[in-house]
Chains A and B, each alone.
Chain A
Amino acid sequence: MTTVTPLWEFVDISKAYPGVLANDKVNIKLLPGSIHGLLGENGCGKSTMIKTLSGVQQPDSGQIKHNGQPVLIADPQVARNFGIATVFQEFSIVPTLSVGENIFLGNMPQSRFGVINWAKVRNDAARVLAEMDVDVSPDVITGTLSVGEQQLVEIAKAIAMDARMIILDEPTAALGEDEIDRLHQLLRNMRSRGTAILYVSHRLDEVERIVDEVTILRNGSVVRASGETKIDVSEIISAMVGGDIGEHYPKEQNTTENVVLEAKGLATKSGVSDASLTLHQGEVLGLGGVLGSGRTEIARALFGTDELTAGQITLKGNPVKFCREIDAIHAGLALVPENRKYDGLFFNFRAGGNITAASLGGLSRFGIMNLKVEEQATRDLIHDLEISSQAEEKTVNFLSGGNQQKIVIARWLFSDSDILILDEPTQGIDIGAKVAVYKLINKLTRAGKSIILISSDHDELLAMSDRIAIVQHGAIVRTVNAAELTHSDLVRASGETSHIKPQEVLA
């Protein structure tokens, strides 16, 4: 590999922000025709590297080399001219524009008089989408697509500009299993055409599958560069966190015989067609299925958010009807939503306000809140869940994803809920925080609480669930013991992608 000139090379790149050295003499070589994994926990400096390479910011010192020649990437436009395309973690598509318009946003084919050549927009977009094997019309309004499809449009933008260097920051966070497969195939095709790919992901199973070499960052420095040797997941983990974290999935069996919740034949307008499940005290019931299969919608149906058109929910033998969320909360249910930024957190509040938000009634007498109790409970939960102590004084937007997620879960510990529905509780948080969430799940089930776990990370779902209910097209088709299921069983059982669209997209 030393004979190939790297397409891009970082030589001793350093970048400091006030109070933190984000990149400390980082070296990396990105070869043409190679998929390079960039790994590390949140806050290790990955995003800083990506921003530097895509021209969003300038390094304080060090050199960036293009084909061996030192260059300056003064701004994002220069990066684009160099053929660098970046797919950021946060979408940069405009939901009200068509797919075609989004793909060529900022780069619309125009005639000499500055008039947009719509035929070319449509044809070129259709060609890119066909090349990606994505079955979406260029004329569709992007906001009406599922989150996964929107992510693919985002990637189509990079492909349409014929990039020679593609940076993907957590590209699969919103994708279902077969969409991930499709993306990986696409990346392999691009690799064989000589494109250099920098791939950032928290999902190590994926990294193992697709990446040719990895660079692991910790506290702003490269702690490991693998070259071309085969990559071992447990080695990666210990390199990332700087030591052994113990068991990756510390599963405890706490399930009992008592049925706490039973749902029969639930259906909603949002796409749940026939969902029946039983949940035992101390049990973790996993909902498996592809993105868009209706797992989130089942959660919403149980929580009283989406009105039931059919079916019956029974709690500890008593039939219940939840007209709104507060009824479900009073009955002891809790919902940790899929997207903590969208409908989980109050970014204007510190930890305290976020933790007590679902328990304001219990915290008040004659409408006046007992702020002492709030303060004390917040302090205790911050301590128990090992949340950053900054959370007491700072609004939650200053906290890492892992801390934010713990705060959303803490809300339902404070409300003393018996049944917690966790929708993608470890999405976009680093390994250390993931393990903390798993331990929290154990602690909850040990205390006799029950969990419904929704996760697109199949390894996690298999390892942490006692039983797994397979969801297809809004229906639970069967429920099996997690121990009897393998990763590939689960993938197969989840079946084909259906096309239920998450409500949020249209709202």
Chain B
Amino acid sequence: MKRIFDAQLIGPFAAMLIVAVIVALTTERFLNPGNLSNLSLQVSIVALIAIGSTIVIFAAGIDLSSGSMIALLTMILAQMLKFMGLPLALAVPLILVVGGLLGLFIGLITAYGRIPSFITTLAGLIAFRGLALTFNNGSPIFSLDPALEPIFYGKVVGIPLPFFYLVFFYAIAAFAMNYTKLGREIYAVGGNPAAAVLTGINVRKVQTTTFVIAGFMTAVGAVLMSARLNSGSPNYGQTLELQAIAAAVVGGASLAGGRGNILATLMGAMTIVIVQNGLNLNAAPSSVQNIVLGLIILLAVGIDMWRAEISGLMGRLFGRSSSDTKKGS
């Protein structure tokens, strides 16, 4: 457990707490149970997708396609439930497989076609939404299945189901990244692909796998999205890919790859959602929300980049020399 809860979590956790305290001070409504439960719903979809986005980032890739893929997957799910008459028990597993396959497709083109993931997933971002529009003449599909919402988006013992999904998938992801061969290989590929090749790691296979994981997690998000609104729509998931990447970055994942803690992404997602919630509760317009979100991303990465300067400044302010020592050579 020491391995999972390491020092990399301290910063993102502190940031989340600070933001929560500030929001709680500005409005009493923040801490009431209804709002907290609503918060876990809000954070769930972006945080689940962010698992995939973060793992892709760990392997030094980037996934811009998840928002559009959500739209496509909700439309396919809606099509299966509404027009093809498939039962939930079949349609939902199928959609998870489709998500994995779409990820596999992107992963293969990226890793074996040697096209940077920024490009392949940018193409996915554009094309998947286009594909979503080919269903039902581009119109949303409503009233899919009355069982969808209670099964996937309801409550158990008063706690929203998405909360359990978060716990479940983050536990698996944290275990995988810290205790499995695959997790180690993902960090190795992200840290130094040339060295990974020479240690016998199948770099392309590992890269492809990260996109399969991302596709699968996007499908999980798509099921929740459909369940929440009992519908599928080609307009769902807009800018979700950027929020997921923002969650990873606020959580301290390095876009250069190889560094970061998957649980920190959850903290990052919660930080973002708490800020949005706080602005909502204080009746701030959505324009302000976007501006604040942009500033948070800058600040999060900035603090990481300027760490040495900040600790130097602290040292001078409080009369202590900074703790990191350099070798003079």
Contact = CB atoms under 8 A, between A and B. Distances in A.
Interface of A: 15, 17-23, 42-48, 220, 303, 305, 324-326, 328-330, 335, 337, 342-349, 353, 356-358, 360-361, 363-364, 367-369, 371, 400, 411, 504
Contact of B195 (A44, A305, A357, A504): A357
B326 A305 contact: no
A369 B188 CA distance: 14
Interface in B278-329: 321-329
Contacts of B194: 342-343, 504
A205 to B, nearest CB: 22
Contact of A357 (B199, B321, B324): B199
Which one of B198, B323, B327 has the highest number of Cβ atoms from chain A below 10 Å of its Cβ? B198
Given A329-B200, A343-B192, A348-B191, A361 B327 contact: no
Contact of A358 (B182, B199, B321, B327): B199
22 contacts: A18-B324, A18-B326, A22-B329, A42-B329, A43-B329, A46-B329, A303-B198, A305-B197, A325-B197, A326-B201, A343-B195, A345-B192, A346-B258, A348-B192, A348-B257, A349-B191, A353-B188, A357-B184, A364-B180, A367-B182, A368-B180, A400-B327
Contacts of A43: 327-329
A400 B327 CA distance: 9
A19 B324 CA distance: 8
A353 B197 contact: no
The B interface, classified by DSSP as helix, strand, loop or mixed, is loop
Contacts of B329: 22, 42-48, 400
Nearest to A342: B194
A458 to B, nearest CB: 26
Interface of B: 3, 179-182, 184-185, 187-188, 190-192, 194-202, 257-259, 321-329
A305 B181 CA distance: 22
A416 to B, nearest CB: 14
Nearest to B194: A343
B326 A17 contact: yes
B199 A368 contact: no
Given A325-B200, A358-B200, A371-B3, A19 B181 contact: no
B180 A369 contact: yes
Contact of A48 (B188, B192, B195, B328): B328
Given A353-B184, A353-B188, A369-B181, A360 B201 contact: yes
B248 to A, nearest CB: 16
B191 A347 contact: yes
Nearest to A336: B198
Contacts of B180: 364, 367-369
A357 B179 contact: no
Contacts of A326: 200-202
Given A18-B321, A44-B329, 4 more contacts: A48-B328, A349-B191, A360-B184, A371-B3
